[in-house]
């Protein structure tokens, strides 16, 4: 998907097909696009925007399945899915529901953390795991940025390095309905990550259980979760590789959609041709 | 009408240029701005002011809870309430409120309330609050569970106060094998429970429920909003629950300043009240309403209401004009309360007699003038003077 001269992405996005599935009585909204090996994309604290350029890129090679976590976007709140560990188990239910045995999983921010919670229990469900600016880990003396206390302007500066942030937030502010979704996503993100902020302090003790080919992609200028976390994840997950994207912060899949998709695709091809 | 005074115990010695460097007097304001020597003087002065009000015939004196800020130095209002317990004889002591749900162990707070109720022979009023949004940053509590946790803490505390122990409590947030409160509260079945709020729809509906009928106290807001929220409580009682709320269930809280003339009152109060609203109370939207703290419906309501309280630069004129504060000569203040009471029928009034940097001498005179010139009239007001909701709608 190429950008138009004005910097916007075309209106007709392939990752626009929505479908609601019922997972043990809870309505979950899924977006699907593309053809190929199934790839589960787990979104981050910012939810899924109306256009997700990074997913459009991935959809050229894979069947992208991008659910909105319970409480985000058009997905129902699940009263018993309270934290990211719950989300990890919930998505194992989702894989069962979709009859997907082993697939590629890509997770950004909270989504990476969800994938890790799944993988420490059920690595056999993963063909590959791609972690993009992933949450979940706590690294001593490497403070994470707080996405909740700052002003919206500062948040956008923290999430992006370049101009893509201005376009991104403008899209969320375009209509009252989108504004409401934005607030809904923030509330859901708080529910899952407020305390301890954006991490499971015990996760590091269990990452040795991740038994799937893993690649780590990180924005060089990520101030929400600094690049030191990429190094720490690489050291803790057996056999993991990592690459750092230049001129990129936390929202790699939006800010550098092509680089994000290329890194992911090449890793998957390399590992599971 | 029952008339209370309440204190926020602000850190009045704050270097008011703090806003050049910091976004708020909450959460992120370094505690190096606090000087314990000045704090010592302030605490004792403020306690004197509450004791004076009790002596002069206010029905009650009140304290509240806020964390990690210069706006109010009472992270534990139980401490100030306990300090007042033995220094007062007849006045109610109202903790408005304590955020039981912010605690890991709400039972400990309930025990402390019970102790104060025993020591004072039943003069305690227990306020239950969720705590404002900023507290969720300061205490680490998850704002998304704020309502649920508040309600569960309430259930736990009321059971602990009323059910013979020991019994076990198994909730979503709280788990106790042995709930067996010693001492039980002095008042039976338990101290009156009030719910101070800035107008959360869920809190109003919850408080008005027939199993609770808690006194709802609207914190300072423009008259229009006060009217909307207090009437909403009465409407809930009527239409959702099928009973008529007593005016004893309705309360309003507002800053008050009295001097000899309207002009003098305005001039004297101006710098101090403007510091309260423009410096101490100024909170970025993100801190005031962290994600999940409000339901989507309340968030929409609040966007319009709160803009006028904490989102704009206030002057004393805008504050008086919007009815956020009551300020003037004794006659002006008396008339305004009589008039507002006629329209809204609150049988509980909480007056903030010290605010921002208002110094000791002006605060004391404010309390004395109020006690002699306004208080007796207000204490004589009954529900007979209230025009009622239907009447008002017809006007």
pLDDT at B201: 87
DSSP A199: B
DSSP B125: E
pLDDT confidence bin for B336, thresholds 50/70/90: very high
Nearest to B286 among A149, A187, A188 (CB): A149
Contact residues on chain A for B287, CB-CB shorter than 8 A: 149
* Whether the predicted pLDDT of B392 surpasses 70: no
pLDDT at B297: 78
Contact residues on chain A for B142, CB-CB shorter than 8 A: 190-191, 194-195
Decide if A21 contacts A28 (C-beta within 8 A): yes
Decide if B253 contacts B217 (C-beta within 8 A): yes
Do A189 and B291 make contact, defined as CB atoms within 8 angstroms?
Answer: yes
Give the CA radius of gyration of chain B: 20
Spell out the per-residue pLDDT of chain A, length 273, in tens. 343 444 333 334 344 467 899 999 989 999 999 999 999 999 999 999 988 999 999 999 999 999 999 999 999 999 899 999 999 999 999 999 999 999 999 999 999 999 999 999 999 999 999 999 999 999 999 999 999 999 999 999 999 998 889 999 999 999 888 989 999 999 999 999 999 999 999 999 999 999 999 999 999 999 999 999 999 999 999 999 999 999 999 999 999 999 999 999 999 999 976
Do B296 and A150 make contact, defined as CB atoms within 8 angstroms?
Answer: no
CA distance A184 to chain B (A): 8
Do A194 and B287 make contact, defined as CB atoms within 8 angstroms?
Answer: no
Give the percent of chain B with pLDDT over 70: 95
The 10 Å Cβ neighbour count of residue B200 is 22
Do B136 and A180 make contact, defined as CB atoms within 8 angstroms?
Answer: no
Contact residues on chain A for B26, CB-CB shorter than 8 A: none
* Whether the predicted pLDDT of B311 surpasses 80: no
Contact residues on chain B for A184, CB-CB shorter than 8 A: 296
What value does the mean pLDDT of chain B take? 94
End-to-end CA distance of chain A: 24
Do A189 and B284 make contact, defined as CB atoms within 8 angstroms?
Answer: no
B28 — contact with chain A (CB < 8 Å)?
Answer: yes
* Rounded CA separation B22/B325 (Å): 27
* Whether the predicted pLDDT of B371 surpasses 80: yes
Average pLDDT over every residue of B136-147: 96
Q: Is B159 exposed, middle or buried (0-12, 13-18, 19+ CB in 10 A)?
A: middle
What ipTM describes this predicted complex?
0.91
The residues that bridge with A18 in the sheet, in sequence order, are: A31
Nearest to B291 among A82, A148, A195 (CB): A148
pLDDT at B174: 98
> Domain spans of chain A?
17-271
B29 — contact with chain A (CB < 8 Å)?
Answer: no
* Rounded CA separation B46/B231 (Å): 33
Predicted TM-score of the model (pTM)? 0.93
Q: Is B296 exposed, middle or buried (0-12, 13-18, 19+ CB in 10 A)?
A: exposed
B171 — contact with chain A (CB < 8 Å)?
Answer: no
Q: Is B46 exposed, middle or buried (0-12, 13-18, 19+ CB in 10 A)?
A: buried
Do A187 and B291 make contact, defined as CB atoms within 8 angstroms?
Answer: yes
DSSP string, B263-307: HHHHHHHHHHHHHIIIIIS---HHHHS-TTSS-HHHHHHHHHHHH
A195 — contact with chain B (CB < 8 Å)?
Answer: yes
A151 — contact with chain B (CB < 8 Å)?
Answer: yes
Could you identify the residue written with the tokens 């408080």?
A: B207
CA distance B202 to chain A (A): 17
The residues that bridge with B6 in the sheet, in sequence order, are: B62, B352
Contact residues on chain A for B289, CB-CB shorter than 8 A: none
pLDDT at A14: 41
pLDDT at A10: 39
Q: Strand, helix or coil at A5?
A: coil
State the best of A76, A84, A149 to mutate against chain B, taking most chain B CBs within 10 Å: A149
pLDDT at B395: 42
pLDDT at B308: 46
* Domain A17-271 classification at class level: alpha beta
* Rounded CA separation B274/B256 (Å): 13
DSSP string, A116-182: HHHHHHHGGGEEEEEEES--B---TT-PPP-TTTS-HHHHHHHH-SSTHHHHHHHHHTSSHHHHHHH
A148 — contact with chain B (CB < 8 Å)?
Answer: yes
Q: Strand, helix or coil at A28?
A: strand
Decide if B220 contacts B254 (C-beta within 8 A): yes
The residues that bridge with A217 in the sheet, in sequence order, are: A132, A243
Do A191 and B142 make contact, defined as CB atoms within 8 angstroms?
Answer: yes
pLDDT at A5: 44
Average pLDDT over every residue of B41-68: 98
Do B291 and A195 make contact, defined as CB atoms within 8 angstroms?
Answer: no
* Whether the predicted pLDDT of B294 surpasses 60: yes
pLDDT at B305: 54
State the maximum Cα–Cα separation within chain A, in Å, rounded to a whole number.
48
What's the per-residue H, E or C state across B301-360? HHHHHHHHHHCCCCCHHHHHHCCCCEEECHHHHHHHHHHHHHHHCCCEEEEECCCCCCCH
Asked if residue B183 has a cis previous peptide bond (ω within 30° of 0), the answer is yes
Contact residues on chain B for A149, CB-CB shorter than 8 A: 27-28, 137, 286-287, 290
pLDDT at B304: 54
B141 — contact with chain A (CB < 8 Å)?
Answer: yes
Average pLDDT over every residue of B268-296: 93
pLDDT at A109: 98
pLDDT at B68: 97
pLDDT at A8: 38
Nearest to A149 among B141, B287, B296 (CB): B287
pLDDT confidence bin for B220, thresholds 50/70/90: confident
Decide if A263 contacts A62 (C-beta within 8 A): no
B2-143+184-394, superfamily in CATH?
Luciferase-like domain (3.20.20.30)
């Amino acid at each position: 998907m190429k950008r138009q001269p004005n910097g916007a992405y075309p209106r007709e996005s392939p990752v626009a097909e929505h479908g609601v599935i019922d997972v043990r009585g809870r309505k979950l909204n899924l977006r699907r696009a593309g053809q190929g090996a199934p790839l589960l994309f787990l979104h981050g604290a910012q939810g899924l925007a109306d256009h997700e350029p990074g997913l459009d890129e991935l959809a050229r090679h894979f069947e992208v399945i991008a659910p909105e976590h319970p409480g985000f976007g058009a997905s129902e709140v699940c009263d018993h899915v309270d934290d990211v560990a719950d989300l990890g188990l919930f998505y194992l239910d989702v894989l069962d529901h979709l009859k997907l045995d082993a697939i590629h999983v890509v997770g950004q921010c909270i989504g990476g953390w969800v994938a890790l919670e799944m993988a420490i229990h059920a690595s056999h469900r993963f063909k590959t795991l791609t972690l993009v600016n992933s949450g979940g880990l706590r690294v001593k003396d490497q403070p994470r940025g707080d996405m909740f206390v700052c002003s919206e302007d500062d948040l956008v500066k923290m999430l992006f390095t370049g101009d893509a942030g201005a376009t991104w937030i403008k899209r969320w502010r375009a209509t009252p309905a989108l504004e409401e979704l934005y607030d809904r996503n923030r509330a859901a993100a708080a529910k899952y990550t407020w305390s301890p902020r954006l991490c499971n302090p015990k996760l590091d003790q269990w990452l040795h259980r991740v038994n799937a080919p893993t690649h780590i992609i990180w924005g060089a200028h990520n101030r929400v979760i600094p690049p030191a976390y990429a190094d720490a994840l690489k050291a803790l997950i057996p056999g993991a590789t990592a690459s750092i994207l230049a001129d990129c912060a936390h929202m790699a899949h939006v800010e550098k959609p092509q680089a994000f998709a290329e890194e992911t695709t090449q890793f998957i091809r390399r590992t599971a041709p | 009408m029952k008339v209370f005074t309440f204190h926020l115990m602000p850190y009045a010695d704050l270097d008011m240029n703090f806003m050049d460097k910091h976004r708020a007097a909450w959460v992120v304001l370094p505690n190096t701005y606090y000087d314990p020597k000045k704090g010592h003087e302030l605490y004792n002065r403020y306690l004197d002011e509450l004791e004076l009000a009790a002596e002069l015939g206010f029905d009650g004196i009140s304290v509240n809870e806020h964390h990690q800020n210069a706006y109010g130095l009472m992270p534990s209002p139980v401490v100030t309430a306990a300090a007042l317990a033995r220094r007062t004889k007849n006045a109610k002591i109202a903790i408005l409120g304590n955020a039981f749900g912010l605690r890991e162990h709400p039972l400990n707070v309930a025990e402390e309330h019970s102790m104060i109720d025993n020591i004072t022979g039943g003069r305690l009023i227990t306020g239950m609050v969720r705590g404002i949004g900023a507290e969720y940053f300061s205490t680490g509590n998850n704002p998304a569970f704020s309502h649920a946790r508040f309600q569960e803490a309430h259930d736990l505390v009321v059971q602990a106060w009323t059910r013979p122990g020991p019994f076990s409590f198994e909730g979503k947030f709280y788990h106790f094998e042995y709930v067996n409160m010693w001492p039980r509260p002095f008042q039976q079945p338990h101290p009156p429970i009030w719910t101070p709020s800035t107008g959360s729809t869920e809190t109003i509906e919850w408080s008005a429920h027939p199993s609770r009928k808690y006194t709802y106290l609207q914190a300072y807001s423009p008259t229009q909003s006060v009217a909307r929220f207090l009437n909403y409580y009465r409407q809930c009682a009527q239409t959702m629950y099928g009973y008529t709320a007593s005016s004893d269930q309705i309360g309003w809280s507002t800053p008050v300043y009295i001097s000899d003339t309207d002009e003098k009152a305005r001039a004297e109060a101006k710098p101090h009240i403007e510091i309260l609203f423009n410096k101490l109370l100024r909170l970025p939207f993100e801190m005031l309403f962290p994600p999940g703290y409000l339901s989507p419906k309340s968030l929409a309501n609040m966007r319009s209401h709160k803009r006028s309280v904490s989102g704009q630069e206030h002057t004393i004129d805008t504050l008086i004009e919007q009815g956020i504060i009551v300020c003037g000569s004794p006659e002006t203040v008396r008339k305004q309360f009589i008039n507002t009471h006629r329209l809204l029928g609150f049988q509980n009034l909480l007056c903030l007699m010290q605010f921002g940097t208002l110094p000791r001498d002006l605060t004391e005179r404010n309390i004395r003038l109020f006690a002699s010139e306004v208080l007796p009239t207000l204490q004589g007001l009954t529900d007979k003077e209230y025009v009622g909701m239907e009447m008002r709608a017809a006007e």
